[in-house]
Amino acid sequence: MRTVEDLSAIGLATAAAVAASGAWYAAFGRRLAQLHDAYAEDTAAAGWIVPVELARSGTVAVTVSALAARTGVTRPRDAVRLGLALWVAFPGVLLTGSVVHEKVPWRLAAIHAGDWLVKLLLVSLATGARRRR
């Protein structure tokens, strides 16, 4: 059962992940445009993108929050370890596979990997380390 504190942390984690991801991709926008045509268009984002990103990040926040609770994460360093482990196990493995098997440029995968690292660390810290009593 989720408490108000849990829901608040999940909301904070979701918002932080979306904001950090937006900043990350804004910082690497020019490089992304050089690496892939999908990023080359200079148009405003469609109106449906923000709700989709909130749903995606919210799903990650709920899942990480549940994992943090089940694994007893209470300290910031435990939250960072959880975030790093999740990053290696999921985005790291998936993005490496895309480079090896689908010929995705490694620099493009590295930009995405960096986004996921920041996102998982923020979400892990926001949802895990708050449990300290």
What predicted TM-score, i.e. pTM, was given to this entire model?
A: 0.90
pLDDT digits (tens, 9 = 90+) for 8-62: 999 999 999 999 999 999 999 899 999 988 888 766 677 899 999 999 999 999 9
Residue 107 is assigned to a structural domain of this protein: yes
Contact 83, 120 (CB under 8 A): yes
Q: For the chain, how many helices (H) and strands (E)?
A: 6, 0
Domain total in the chain = 1
Which pLDDT band, with edges at 50, 70 and 90, does 4 fall under?
A: confident
Residue 10 is assigned to a structural domain of this protein: yes
User: What length does the chain have?
Assistant: 133
Residue 133 is assigned to a structural domain of this protein: no
Write out the DSSP string of 71-111.
HT--SHHHHHHHHHHHHIIIIIHHHHHHHHHH---HHHHHH
Residue 57 is assigned to a structural domain of this protein: yes
The 3-state DSSP class for residue 36 equals coil
Domain that holds residue 123: 4-128
Q: What number is the average pLDDT over the span 82-98?
A: 97
| pLDDT given at position 44 | 67
Output the average pLDDT for the chain: 92
